Structure 1
Amino acid sequence: MPPDLRTSDASIIARSRAEPECFAEIFDRYFPAIHRYAAVRLGSAAADDVAAETFLAAFDQRHRYDPAWPQARPWLYGIATNLIGRHRRSELRLYRALSRTAEREADDGHADRVAERVSAEQLTPALARGLAALGKGDRDALLLVACAELSYGEVAAALGIPVGTVGSRVNRARRVLRSALSVPDER
């Protein structure tokens, strides 16, 4: 259920400009999801830092928040994704290290179920190789859809790109992952 006008993210952020303590509600609403997303991308050790940095940056930039967006979710994921980009070498090292581990049996074999399989505990070597092979833009778009469960419109807002570009990136990423996982293309 969308928040009413008084409790929308946009109204809370606007109020937090004069009453900074109000921003704690945004933190409470979104920290667990942002932390999970960062943990999927970088591992749990870096997730604490990235999630904290996300909210610190959001708090510092709250005066630039576009009130036309009632939900701060895409904005926060955009900040988190940018911070993850700074940790990209760690992310790629994690994927490459996991791709070298002993092959484990995949549970369902479908690249479209990435969200269920992309975590430090569930990431198979083949999937890790596929994710490491993706370009940054393709990987960011795919993982925002698969792990953060953002719509293409929300991903577009988070990354500052057109919705059509999101679709292209996600489709390209899925093709690469299908190939890495030896899943036949569904055309």
Structure 2
Amino acid sequence: MSDGLNEYRRARVAELLCDFYGLQYIITSVPVDPDNSEDYLTEGWAAMRQCMIDGQRILDTGADTSVPGASGGSAEQEKAVLKQCYLDAFSRRHEAQKIYLRQTAAQRWIQWREQVLMGGQSHSEVNSQLRSLDQQLRSDLSIITDEYVYAELHTSDTGMGRWTAEDPSLRAVQRWVRSRRG
């Protein structure tokens, strides 16, 4: 006997996939190489390139479509498939949001660095400011944890009135991510 929630599950999977694709578009549209080749190995530009790599990896990761057979008829089988799709879409969106937040932190670093350098090259007068910017970037990136992203997305979803009754736990998301890394 079906629980009657498959329509909610379908709608939620569609929302999650829409969010994921929007994030992927943003992640892949940001430049990853500086105009000045001397900046290539700086922390912010390295973070930008890592975000692009991580974004491509999550996009290239195939969906896990292996769903055990469910007893109880086609509605129960559909429920099992939808729950698997739900976990996959939810986890992809989580990872994309994490990448996006890291990318945004690196973009701020790039803007601040450009302001400090005022279009010129690094020199001894601004080195302490540049080191401070590097430290700020490391601090900003350290805040972007799975727990932080999960809580942020949950707050956003509930604020938009989305159905979240069956959202996977953070542990389930982390297991999904680990299983895709290799």
TM-score with structure 2 length normalisation? Answer: 0.35
Q: Is the radius of gyration larger for structure 1 or structure 2?
A: 2
